[in-house]
């Protein structure tokens, strides 16, 4: 099954905005994602330091959560990603903060989530993930409220081991909090779209989905919801 990708303009905008800000913004290291099919596990490192793992990602096809992100140095759980076999939305958690990757379109790769790492006052702000798919690469681009690029996940479609890489830009490119939020939401979205492309149940879920922005109230903790 193929999905529409209305992102060619976003891709060129991503490149031009990145070039225009590269001279003034901190350029964070590119992170490389290496995947082992034997262990069904990914290791994330700086591209320039492939022998020094930063994070590990344990993948499970059936049990929840489907993705578990851990610090490679402390084994602390950084976050999780959980999919639904029918719903086209996905759930994630970063350092105990739960959130939703919600589809903005039924048949396009366009998702939103509420970011705490990009907020200046503690109030979650909406971020948008879009994608552009070519013959060799599947690019997922994250932009902020002003449509400024924050990060890009480039997936090597035909790769056996080197799954892809993350690039970060903008004023918070050096933020570890944002980096971990992007890692969790980006790889969860990729896994979600991979499932959607290979599941008839996801097609049914797309037909009956209610795409649209996330209301801040829906992202509150259960304790707040009951008040």
Which helix H or strand E contains 223, and what residues bound it? helix 222-225
Could you tell me the two tokens for 72?
Answer: 């490679």
β-bridge pairing 162-168 and 149-156 = antiparallel
Is 66 domain-assigned?
yes
CA separation for the pair 23, 26 (Å, rounded)? 8
Q: What is the pLDDT of residues 130-188, one digit of tens each?
A: 999 888 899 999 999 999 999 999 999 888 899 999 999 999 999 999 999 999 999 99
Is 226 domain-assigned?
no
Is 123 domain-assigned?
yes
CA separation for the pair 224, 66 (Å, rounded)? 27
CA separation for the pair 81, 65 (Å, rounded)? 6
Report pLDDT for 127: 98
Mean per-residue pLDDT for 42-63? 95
Could you tell me the two tokens for 169?
Answer: 């830009």
Parent domain of 176:
8-214
Mean per-residue pLDDT for 116-142? 93
**10 pLDDT above the threshold of 90:** no
Which helix H or strand E contains 64, and what residues bound it? none
Could you tell me the two tokens for 222?
Answer: 């259960």
CA separation for the pair 181, 163 (Å, rounded)? 19
Report pLDDT for 13: 47
On average, the pLDDT of the chain sits at 86
Report pLDDT for 45: 98
CA separation for the pair 197, 191 (Å, rounded)? 10
Is 182 domain-assigned?
yes
Q: How many domains does the chain have?
A: 1
pTM score, two decimals?
0.84
Strand ranges in 120-201 using DSSP code E only, listed in sequence order: 125-133, 137-143, 149-156, 162-168
Is 220 domain-assigned?
no
CA proximity to 33, closest of 21, 41, 45: 45
Is 77 domain-assigned?
yes
Is 2 domain-assigned?
no
- CA–CA distances in Å: residue 11 to residues 63, 88, 133, 142, 143: 35, 23, 10, 11, 11
CA proximity to 114, closest of 87, 84, 142, 154: 142
CA proximity to 138, closest of 28, 33, 17: 33
Contact 83, 103 (CB under 8 A): no
Q: What is the pLDDT of residues 198-208, one digit of tens each?
A: 999 999 999 99
Contacts of 18 (CB under 8 A, 6+ apart): 149, 169
Q: What is the pLDDT of residues 176-199, one digit of tens each?
A: 999 999 999 999 999 999 999 999
């Amino acid at each position: 099954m193929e999905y529409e990708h209305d992102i060619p303009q976003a891709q060129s905008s991503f490149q031009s905005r990145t070039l225009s800000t590269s001279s003034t913004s901190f350029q964070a290291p590119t992170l490389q994602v290496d995947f082992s099919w034997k262990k069904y596990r990914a290791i994330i490192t700086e591209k320039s330091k492939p022998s020094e793992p930063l994070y590990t990602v344990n993948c499970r096809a059936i049990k929840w959560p489907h993705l578990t992100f851990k610090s490679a140095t402390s084994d602390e759980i950084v976050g999780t990603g959980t999919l639904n076999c029918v719903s086209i939305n996905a759930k994630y958690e970063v350092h105990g903060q739960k959130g939703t990757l919600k589809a903005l379109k039924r048949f396009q790769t366009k998702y939103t989530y509420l970011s705490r790492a990009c907020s200046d006052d503690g109030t979650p702000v909406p971020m948008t993930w879009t994608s552009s798919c070519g013959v060799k690469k599947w690019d997922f681009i994250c932009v902020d409220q002003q449509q400024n690029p924050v990060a890009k996940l480039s997936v090597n479609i035909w790769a056996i081991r080197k799954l892809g890489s993350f690039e970060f830009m903008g004023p918070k490119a050096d933020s570890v909090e944002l980096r971990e939020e992007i890692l969790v939401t980006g790889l969860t979205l990729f896994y979600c779209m991979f499932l959607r492309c290979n599941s008839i149940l996801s097609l049914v879920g797309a037909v009956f989905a209610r795409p649209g922005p996330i209301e801040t109230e829906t992202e509150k903790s259960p304790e707040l919801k009951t008040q």
